[in-house]
Amino acid sequence: SAIKYCTVDIPEMPPCSFKPEEYKGMSKEQMMEIRKQNCNPMTMKITYYKKPVFIHQGYMQWLWDVDGKRYLDLFAGVATVSVGHFTAAIQRQLKKLMTAVFKMCPLCFLIQVIYLTNSGSEANELALLMARLHTGNFDVITFRGSYHGGSQQTMGLTANSSCKFPIATSSGCIHTMCPDVFRGPWGGSYCRDSPVQTIRQCSCAQGVCIANKHYIEQLEETFATSAPSQIAAFFGEPIQGMGGAVQYPKNYLKEAYKLVRQRGGICIADEVQTGFGRTGSHFWGFQGHDGIGNGFPVGAVVTTPEIAASFVKASHFNTFGGNPLACAVASSVLDTIREDSTQQNSLHVGTYLMTQMAKLRDKYEVIGDVRGKGLQIGMEMVKDKGSREPPPPEAMSEILEDVKDMGVLIGKGGVHGQTFRIQPPMCITREDVDFFLAVFNKAISGYTDRK
């Protein structure tokens, strides 16, 4: 169970002038009973924490539970809350809803054709359908460890057993080796486009990456053995999200896309988590390889006129895709990203956070890897650096619970649940980062002392 800390030992949380409303709703016990009686049984079986957090209100990077306790949110609704928790945009648009202009194209500064949807899963499913229609091919390639959605079709694209039910899903999905330069068979000191590299050594010359060469060979092996000569698409997250912020060698996607196009396929970048400036250096994650609505239900498929023209073979409609309220919120988020220099903040604060986390990696044997770009960050835990094997699940849960008890919410991912995911609202500050680092250092120190 989580260790109990004396209040004087807990790192001091940065101040916040916002005053949440007093919670006057039902008790936590009543909520749990309603949840037990009315919700899917899975929601009772699986909770993120042993003692669940009941969130009442949010503001920017802060959350308050029903007891009034404040938390620093470093997971941001699974990296979908980009510019912070807020309601002003919704309130303004609700007042104007009857006269608002239907904003169909919140991304028109780089879009040719866009289809607005309700979620990332739906967007990926639509992209898969369009790729198959346009190419006339069926098979699609994705990475092992990937997550592309929870619908029946996108569950086939997904290659993470914790997200797959024992039912028939989309056929024609082929999963190739993920080019993970930390846990995979190949990797070195300069593979990633990240301010922090792996602890693995290599003898590559400047500008040469042997690991990339070997992972591309694995993709070519997949084409030679598991796929037909012509494919429909290649799906890839620019940085794996649920897979644990896994980054590929710098030139991997560029070379992989070339191979895919040689086989008639379309290259699809799943930007649900990496888009909209989160990686800091670019607005879109795929741009680093040469969540539109801040958590509000809206998604989009961006494509070319040629591919869109193939989509007229039957009628397709979306009941709520592109609804005025969702588009207004999405447009407001894009305005905020531009006006508040959110992308630049992601770059500077994220780089600072990663370099400081790398110091913790060097300090503790159980921290194997720190990786990412901007505020899309993963910290992979290990039994020891020599083996790089994942720690037992109870160890991850113990550390996660301790961090939560000290006032910080982070995520967890990876094929073996071995990676802590830090993907906060992009408005966090260095002061917030220093608080998290103090909390995490204390949690890891406590864990290693108890081992």
Q: pLDDT (tens digit, 9 = 90+) per residue, 165-191?
A: 888 887 899 999 999 999 999 999 889
Decide which of 339, 354, 373 is a domain's last residue. 339
Decide which of 339, 372, 394 is a domain's last residue. 339
Q: What is the tally of structural domains in the chain?
A: 2
Residue 24 sits in a domain whose CATH number is 3.90.1150.10
Q: Is the pLDDT of residue 5 over 70?
A: no
Question: Do 246 and 360 belong to one domain?
Answer: no
Residue 226 sits in a domain whose CATH number is 3.40.640.10
Give pLDDT, residue 317: 64
Question: Do 240 and 155 belong to one domain?
Answer: yes
Q: Which two tokens stand for residue 145?
A: 């460890």
Q: Is residue 37 part of a domain?
A: yes
Give pLDDT, residue 107: 42
Question: Do 291 and 220 belong to one domain?
Answer: yes
Confidence band of 93 (pLDDT split at 50, 70, 90): very low
Give pLDDT, residue 444: 96
Q: Which two tokens stand for residue 151?
A: 């619908």
Give pLDDT, residue 96: 38
Question: Do 323 and 369 belong to one domain?
Answer: no
Question: Do 324 and 357 belong to one domain?
Answer: no
Question: Do 328 and 349 belong to one domain?
Answer: no
- Owning domain of residue 79: 7-86+341-450
Question: Do 266 and 230 belong to one domain?
Answer: yes
Q: Is residue 106 part of a domain?
A: no
Q: Is residue 108 part of a domain?
A: no
C-alpha–C-alpha distance, residues 82 and 333, integer Å: 8
Least confident of 14-28, 131-145, 369-383: 14-28
Nearest by Cα to 300 from 281, 318, 278, 325: 318
Question: Do 317 and 422 belong to one domain?
Answer: no
Q: Which two tokens stand for residue 317?
A: 């409609």
Over residues 266-273, mean pLDDT: 81
Over residues 189-200, mean pLDDT: 91
Q: Is 414 left (phi over 0), alpha (psi -120 to 50) or beta?
A: left
Question: Do 317 and 354 belong to one domain?
Answer: no
Question: Do 441 and 308 belong to one domain?
Answer: no
Give pLDDT, residue 98: 28
Question: Do 29 and 68 belong to one domain?
Answer: yes
Q: Is residue 79 part of a domain?
A: yes
Q: CB under 8 Å to 178, separation ≥6 — which residues?
A: 143, 144, 145, 146, 184, 240, 243, 246, 248
Q: Is the pLDDT of residue 355 over 50?
A: yes
Q: Is residue 155 part of a domain?
A: yes
- The three-class DSSP label of residue 174 is strand
**pTM of the prediction?**
0.73
Determine the residue type at 343: Q
Give pLDDT, residue 85: 61
Eight-class DSSP state of 64: E
Q: Is the pLDDT of residue 275 over 80?
A: no
Decide which of 339, 371, 404 is a domain's last residue. 339
Q: Count CA atoms closer than 13 A to 401's CA, side-chain side.
A: 18
Q: Is the pLDDT of residue 257 over 70?
A: yes
Q: Is residue 382 part of a domain?
A: yes
Question: Do 213 and 280 belong to one domain?
Answer: yes
Q: Is residue 221 part of a domain?
A: yes
Q: Is the pLDDT of residue 95 over 50?
A: no
Q: Is residue 96 part of a domain?
A: no
Q: Which two tokens stand for residue 430?
A: 């260095």
